[in-house]
């Protein structure tokens, strides 16, 4: 077959090549072939050139490298738009007088799939994934996706794709009618060419998705799917802006002519682009990728990790063991005696048993995973282990004794990690002969489920050990955030402060139930008092008692939690805490006795209760969180504000559409946050000390985001 390459505008990321009568149009815009302005121009030019070129009978669209097209260029959102627009490019593709075929490998997401839907025929290789993930960025498909998808697959399947944002694989796409053919091999170009030639041989003509009718024929079924989705959106995706707009746009595909539907889609898409939720969600998307770029991951290569050791088989040790097993590692657990080891093993097995019972794992797969899991009461079992995580009691003496053992038995070059929540990791590191190998790996409970992993970096650790922590996170599908050593690192340190703000409000007059409700309304899945009940009040109580002797007497100390703990009301595990959990219920009900205790404590403290509205509750809670977040950045415990955001998004249920506490602060406006803090400081200047970083940023008119870019 004759082949000539034309590379119009010298630097265009879209190339054209004649393969016989087929013009192969390749998008080459690494890493994911996003549809930036010059890609859009290149595609539009290629389609135009194909019309004018008598040697071309059909056009084949293909992606270079690892993927087809992953969507619009997210970095362009919020900037002045450049022509041609993506909807326009899609319309030009669809209007082509010569058949256009899209051949898909890797991912066809968002605008990438919309390009394919505007083409006349679609083929995908077996491993390809296709989806419309715009909703996860606070958007709706904005280049015809809301109008073309229902015309191909019907309203129910289209809404499912758009509202879940989940991609489907190529065979599902074929079954849905999203593509016309499944390739036999992974060679997208070869498969696409063969398909294009077969279509030409059949005399196939352009077949425009806008004209497709069959999938919408049963109007009653479409209407029912639409109504069901509208109802679902108001409950399951409550508070989110774009899901309702998706339903509106899809409704137009059913009720309106195509061009009118497109116009409405554009209007709704632009509303979403302008929404703060879009800004928050896109910030979250990039922040989760930026956290991977810590100085040590740039400077050093990770050490090889094939095997892991865990000391302690309690809540955390067992969860960490599961996370490591799921990552494919060989895992050895060491406990202090046989009985504890048995308990540890059982804790691990229990996780897989539950999966088997729910039909989410086969018994064989369970056996396979557990064949990589061993246990011992002898540290010598760690002699050849690449990385060990200690998860024993939160007690410096116990931790040091464990590290002395690890120092004795572990091979040179093994990474020695602690899962401590609060203890000084510099002190632990200084107690062994190889402090360069010691770091903190702070998992969150349940460790096999929670995404966040704080990589805590003590002073003497070597860069490749830190890089190994990040590599381990990747293997375990965790979101790693680099943190410095301090009391509570990033997350728990900030939590301690805003949790106090919540306690102050409770003592001053807000009920714990009102506070929880206000914060759920803000977007948290649970309020702080529900979280206490879930985690168990006893842990915090033990810490408070330990610290009682050294507590600054000037600091306001709310005793309500202590009164509950003294009664043995630790939360869900004891059937009551702030809430009542009759007969093991997971959702609590309000408890008048708790309110009576709160009242009594107010009287004891000499406080006349006042009323709070929900807005004030959120303002105080957020101001406390933001102010301590600023301190954590100021002291370089977090590298950038975005690291704080990712900690809260992936470890503390912070509503993703608000972008994280620091992004939220930027959106509210730092002067406003600082003014709140100064106002609150009039009542309690010790608690409400404005962070020097916040003061500085307000002073020079800058925001937190300006520090993300440095």
13 makes contact with ligand 3HC (CB under 6 A): no
Residues 308-367 that bind ligand NAI (CB under 6 A): 311-317, 334-336, 340, 344
628 makes contact with ligand NAI (CB under 6 A): no
Give the residue from 75, 7, 88 showing the smallest Cα distance to 40.
Answer: 88
- What's 171-192 look like in SS3? HHHHHHCCCCEECCCCCHHHHH
Give the residue from 506, 593, 513, 518 showing the smallest Cα distance to 557.
Answer: 506
Cβ 139 to ligand 3HC, closest distance in Å? 6
Q: For residue 154, give the 3-state DSSP assignment.
A: coil
Contact between 174 and 182 under an 8 Å Cβ cutoff? The reply is yes
298 makes contact with ligand 3HC (CB under 6 A): no
Give the residue from 145, 396, 127, 141 showing the smallest Cα distance to 258.
Answer: 145
Q: 94, 114, 180, 591: which one contacts ligand 3HC (CB under 6 A)?
A: 114
Partner interacting with residue 393 (select from ligand 3HC, ligand NAI, none; CB below 5-8 Å by kind)? ligand NAI
Q: 185, 445, 589, 689: which one contacts ligand NAI (CB under 6 A)?
A: 445
Which residue number, 91 or 532, has a Cβ lying nearer to ligand NAI? 532
| Site size toward ligand NAI, by CB under 6 A | 24
63 makes contact with ligand 3HC (CB under 6 A): no
Q: What is the torsional sign of CA 543, 548, 554, 558?
A: positive
Query: Beta 3-6 vs 14-19: how paired, if at all?
Result: antiparallel
Contact between 650 and 479 under an 8 Å Cβ cutoff? The reply is yes
Q: 27, 143, 152, 481: which one contacts ligand 3HC (CB under 6 A)?
A: 143
Token pair for residue 604?
A: 């004891």
* 664 CB burial (10 A radius; 0-12, 13-18, 19+): buried
Partner interacting with residue 275 (select from ligand 3HC, ligand NAI, none; CB below 5-8 Å by kind)? none
Active site residue 267: no
Partner interacting with residue 137 (select from ligand NAI, ligand 3HC, none; CB below 5-8 Å by kind)? ligand 3HC
Contact between 43 and 14 under an 8 Å Cβ cutoff? The reply is yes
139 makes contact with ligand 3HC (CB under 6 A): yes
Which residue number, 398 or 668, has a Cβ lying nearer to ligand NAI? 398
110 makes contact with ligand 3HC (CB under 6 A): yes
Which residue number, 152 or 638, has a Cβ lying nearer to ligand NAI? 638
Q: For residue 441, give the 3-state DSSP assignment.
A: strand
Q: Per the residue annotation, which of 48, 94, 134, 394 is the catalytic one?
A: 134
706 makes contact with ligand NAI (CB under 6 A): no
Active site residue 134: yes
Partner interacting with residue 533 (select from ligand 3HC, ligand NAI, none; CB below 5-8 Å by kind)? none
Q: Per the residue annotation, which of 48, 82, 114, 507 is the catalytic one?
A: 114
Give the residue from 698, 578, 674 showing the smallest Cα distance to 622.
Answer: 674
Cβ 647 to ligand NAI, closest distance in Å? 13
416 makes contact with ligand NAI (CB under 6 A): no
208 makes contact with ligand NAI (CB under 6 A): no
96 makes contact with ligand NAI (CB under 6 A): no
Q: 132, 168, 233, 392: which one contacts ligand NAI (CB under 6 A)?
A: 392
CA gap 442, 451 in Å, rounded: 11
Q: Count Cα neighbours of 612 within 13 Å in the Cβ-side half-sphere.
A: 26
Token pair for residue 693?
A: 């970083």
Q: For residue 497, give the 3-state DSSP assignment.
A: helix
Helix (H) or strand (E) holding 453: strand 452-457
Q: Report the 10 Å Cβ neighbour count for 486.
A: 18
363-382 core/surface letters (b: 16 or more CB in 10 A; e: else): eeebeebeeebebeeebebb
Q: 419, 448, 627, 650: which one contacts ligand NAI (CB under 6 A)?
A: 419
Which positions touch ligand 3HC (CB under 6 A)?
Answer: 31-32, 34, 70-75, 86, 107, 109-111, 114, 133-134, 137, 139, 141-143, 145, 286, 289
Catalytic center residues: 114, 134
Which positions touch ligand NAI (CB under 6 A)?
Answer: 311-317, 334-336, 340, 344, 391-394, 398, 402, 419-421, 443-445
């Amino acid at each position: 077959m004759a082949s000539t390459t034309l590379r119009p505008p010298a630097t265009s990321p879209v190339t054209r090549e004649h393969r016989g009568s087929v013009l192969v149009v390749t998008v080459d815009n690494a890493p994911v072939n996003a549809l930036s302005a010059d890609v859009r121009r290149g595609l539009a030019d290629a389609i135009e050139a194909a019309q004018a070129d008598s040697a071309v009978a059909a056009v084949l669209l293909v992606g270079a490298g690892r993927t087809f097209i992953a969507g619009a260029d997210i970095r362009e959102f919020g900037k002045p738009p450049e022509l041609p627009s993506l909807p326009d490019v899609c319309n030009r593709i669809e209007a082509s007088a010569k058949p256009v075929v899209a051949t898909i490998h890797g991912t066809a997401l968002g605008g990438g799939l919309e390009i394919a839907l505007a083409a006349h025929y679609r083929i995908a290789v077996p491993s390809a994934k296709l989806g419309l993930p715009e909703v996860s960025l606070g958007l709706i498909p904005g280049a015809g996706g809301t109008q073309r998808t229902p015309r191909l697959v019907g309203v129910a399947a289209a809404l499912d794709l758009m509202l879940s944002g989940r991609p489907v694989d190529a065979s599902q796409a074929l079954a849905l009618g999203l593509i016309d053919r499944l390739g036999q091999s992974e060679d997208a170009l070869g498969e696409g060419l063969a398909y294009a030639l077969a279509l030409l041989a059949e005399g196939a003509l352009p077949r425009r998705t806008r004209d497709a009718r069959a999938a919408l024929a049963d109007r009653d079924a479409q209407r029912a799917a639409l109504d069901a989705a509208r109802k679902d959106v108001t409950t399951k995706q409550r508070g989110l802006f774009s899901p309702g707009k998706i339903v509106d746009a899809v409704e137009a595909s059913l009720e309106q002519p195509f061009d009118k539907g497109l116009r409405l889609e554009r209007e709704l898409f632009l509303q979403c682009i302008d929404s703060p939720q879009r800004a928050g969600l896109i910030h979250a998307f990039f922040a989760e990728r930026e956290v991977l770029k810590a100085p040590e991951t740039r400077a050093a290569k990770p050490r090889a990790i094939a095997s892991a050791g865990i000391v302690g088989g309690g809540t955390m040790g067992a969860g960490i063991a599961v996370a490591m097993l799921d990552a494919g590692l060989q895992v050895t657990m060491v406990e202090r005696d046989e009985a504890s080891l048995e308990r540890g093993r059982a804790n691990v097995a229990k996780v897989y048993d539950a999966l088997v019972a729910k039909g989410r794992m086969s018994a064989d797969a369970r056996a396979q995973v557990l064949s990589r899991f061993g246990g011992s009461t002898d540290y010598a079992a760690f002699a050849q282990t690449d990385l060990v995580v200690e998860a024993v009691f939160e007690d410096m003496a116990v931790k040091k004794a464990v590290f002395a053992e690890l120092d004795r038995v572990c091979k040179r070059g093994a990474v020695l990690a602690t899962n401590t929540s609060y203890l000084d990791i510099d002190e632990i590191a200084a107690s062994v002969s190889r402090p360069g190998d010691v770091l903190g790996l702070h998992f969150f409970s349940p460790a096999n489920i929670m995404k966040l992993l704080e990589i805590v970096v003590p002073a003497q650790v070597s860069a490749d050990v830190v890089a190994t922590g990040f590599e381990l996170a990747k293997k375990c599908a965790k979101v790693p955030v680099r943190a410095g050593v301090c009391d509570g690192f990033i997350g728990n340190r900030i939590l301690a402060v805003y949790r106090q703000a919540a306690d102050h409000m409770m003592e001053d007059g807000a009920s714990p139930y009102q506070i929880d409700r206000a914060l759920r309304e803000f977007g948290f899945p649970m309020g702080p008092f529900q979280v206490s009940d879930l985690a168990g009040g006893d842990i915090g109580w033990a810490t408070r008692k330990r610290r009682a002797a050294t507590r600054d007497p000037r600091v306001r100390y709310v005793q309500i939690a202590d009164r509950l703990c003294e009664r043995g009301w630790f939360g869900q595990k004891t059937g009551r805490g702030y809430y009542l959990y009759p007969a093991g219920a997971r959702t609590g009900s309000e408890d008048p006795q708790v309110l009576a205790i709160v009242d009594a404590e107010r009287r004891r403290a000499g406080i006349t209760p006042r009323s709070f509205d929900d807005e004030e509750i959120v303002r105080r809670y957020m101001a406390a969180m933001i102010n301590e977040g600023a301190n954590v950045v100021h002291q370089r415990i977090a590298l950038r504000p975005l690291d704080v955001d990712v900690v809260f998004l992936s470890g503390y249920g912070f509503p993703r559409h608000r972008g994280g506490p620091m992004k939220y602060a930027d959106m509210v406006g730092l002067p406003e946050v600082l003014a709140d803090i100064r106002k609150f400081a009039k009542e309690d200047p010790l608690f409400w000390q404005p962070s020097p970083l916040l003061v500085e940023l307000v002073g020079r008119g800058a925001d937190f985001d300006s520090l993300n870019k440095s």
